[in-house]
Each structure stands twice: as structure tokens, then as C-alpha cells.
Amino acid sequence: MNSTSIITIAIAVLAVLGLGVVLTATRRSDIKGVGSLSRETRKRDRNAAKVARNSSRDAENLGVASRSAVAVMPPAEIETWVAPDAEALGETRRAFLNRATVTLMSASLGGFAAALIAFLWKGAEGGFGSKINAGKIDDVIGQIRSAGGFLYLPEARSWVTEYPKEAISKAEVAYGKQGAVFAGMNAGVVALYQKCPHLGCRVPNCTTSQWFECPCHGSQYNRVGEKKGGPAPRGMDRFGVSVNNGMMVIDTGAVFGGPPIGTNTTGQEAEGPHCVGGAGKH
């Protein structure tokens, strides 16, 4: 290869390289032109930013102005203090005391009325103060005998003892006017109120003497409640007894006074040592 050929080839290579450099530069210029903003656009953006800055500054100034503003309130009205009327105060106190008194009295009366109704209600339903079913008369007599001659019925607050049949004619004379009491004796029993007619102690039986002997002041009564000794003004009080279809009922709603001193229809004497004092000293 001669020198002319070599120069020709070198010129061609340089021309190709120069063309490549030109094309590459043109491409970069196109890319840069696409990403950049125009002058009008940049100017518009600057104006918009300025407006935004002015708006935010105005808003801040407004906030500061509102915070620093002092609300002016109208002057408060102050009422002049006036001393309370002593008479009116006294009147109020009296009214309160009157109301309290009336309320307390009403409550007391209400409680009393409730207690009275409860008592009457209980009397109507059963228990002491009403007619109490003691059971079959034969069973009652059997219980008296098995208890040693004295049967205590707490619901009737009574002692129930046997009345001897051989003494019924005397009983008719002494107790005939107390029909309900005599009816019980005729059926073979007597229901004696537990309360001593002297001063009201509960009178127990004495198993040795077979009498009733009061521990309070020593009053003594035979087994059917006729007074034998002590300060009591009469024999033991008692209740009426009825027997229907073999069933014995004690009416505790009415108390019959005991027989007068000296009444002794059964003639029963003490059957052993007394439990209290001696008989016939009072």
C-alpha cells in the first residue's frame, strides 16, 4: 500500500469520527432542550411564588393580630348585698320544725296502725286471741295423763287438765253461768289461763303436790285452778272449750274470771310436798 492510499483511508476515518461527534452533540442538545423551562414559564413561576409568599405573610399577620387583640367585655352588674330578713328566717325555721313534727307524728301513727293491723290480722288468722284447735279430745286427755296430769299448750297460753266426771254436778253449780267453761268440764277438760290472777306471773304446775303454785308470791291452786292459798283474789282464769265431732277447740278470744275464793268442786288436796310456801296462809 502506498502513501496515497494510507492518507485517503486516514481522511475517511477522520471524517467518520467527526460525523459521529457532531451527531452526538446534536442529540445532547435536543435532550437538554426538552427538560428545561422556557423563560415565560420561569417568569410565571417566580410571580406565583411571590404571590404565595405574600399570602402566607398576610395570613401570619392576621393570626398575630387576632391573638394580640383584647376582648372588651361589658362591665359586670354587681348587686348590692341586703341582709336577710330575720323575721322571714324565723318563719322558715318554724315552717321546717312544723313540717318535721307533722312528719314524725305521721310516721309514728303509721307504725302504730301497722302494728295494730298486724296484731288483729294475726288474731284473725290464728294464735293466741283466736280459737285454737287442740286436736281430738281423746288424744288431749291421753296427753294430759302421759304428761303427769298437766298439759301445757303454748299457742293457747293455757294449761289443760282433766276435770273429774264425778264432780260435774258441783261444777254445774259453780260454773254453770260460764257456759263455755262448763261445756269443757262436761267434756272432761278445763283450759286454765297461765297468767296468775294476783299480779300476772306465769303459774307453773307442781309435780309433787299436783297443784299449780305461783313462784312470785306463793299463790296456790288445785289441779282445776281453784284457789287453795296465797294472795290471789280468786281462782285461775280460764277459757271456754267446745268439742265438735270429737275435736277440741279452745277459744282464747275471751277470758273467764276464775272462781271465787272458797270454791272447791273437786276436793283435791295436795298430793305431796309443795313447790312454794305453804297453803292457806294468806
| Nearer CB in complex with ligand FES: 136/195 | 195
| Nearer CB in complex with ligand FES: 182/221 | 221
| Nearer CB in complex with ligand FES: 218/240 | 218
3 state DSSP class of 229: strand
| Nearer CB in complex with ligand FES: 230/258 | 230
Helical ranges in the chain per DSSP H: 3-35, 39-68, 86-125, 137-146, 168-175, 179-186
| Nearer CB in complex with ligand FES: 218/258 | 218
Q: Name the packing angle between helices 179-186 and 168-175 (round to 10°).
A: 170
178's grid cell:
260460764
The single residue among 147, 183, 201, 261 that binds ligand FES, judged by CB under 6 A, is 201
The single residue among 107, 199, 254, 255 that binds ligand FES, judged by CB under 6 A, is 199
Q: By CB under 6 A, what part of segment 159-198 binds ligand FES?
A: 196, 198
- Contact between 219 and ligand FES per CB under 6 A: yes
| Nearer CB in complex with ligand FES: 164/231 | 231
Whole-angstrom Cα Rg for the chain? 62
Dihedral, CA of residue 214, residue 239, residue 137 and residue 166, to nearest 10:
70
- Contact between 278 and ligand FES per CB under 6 A: no
Which letter does DSSP use for residue 5 in this model?
H
- Contact between 214 and ligand FES per CB under 6 A: yes
Phi-psi region of 213 (alpha: psi -120 to 50; beta: other; left: phi over 0): beta
- CA neighbor of 244 nearest in space, from 127, 137, 140: 137
- Contact between 209 and ligand FES per CB under 6 A: no
Site string for ligand FES, 103-122 (x = CB under 6 A): --------------------
Q: By CB under 6 A, what part of segment 43-102 binds ligand FES?
A: none
The single residue among 183, 217, 242, 268 that binds ligand FES, judged by CB under 6 A, is 217
Q: DSSP string of 108-160?
A: HHHHHHHHHHHHHHHHHHSSTTSEEEEEEHHHHHHHHHHTTS-EEEGGGTEEE
Backbone angles phi, psi at 92, to 5 degrees: -65, -40
The single residue among 149, 204, 231, 277 that binds ligand FES, judged by CB under 6 A, is 231
| Residues near ligand FES (CB under 6 A) | 196, 198-201, 214, 216-219, 230-232
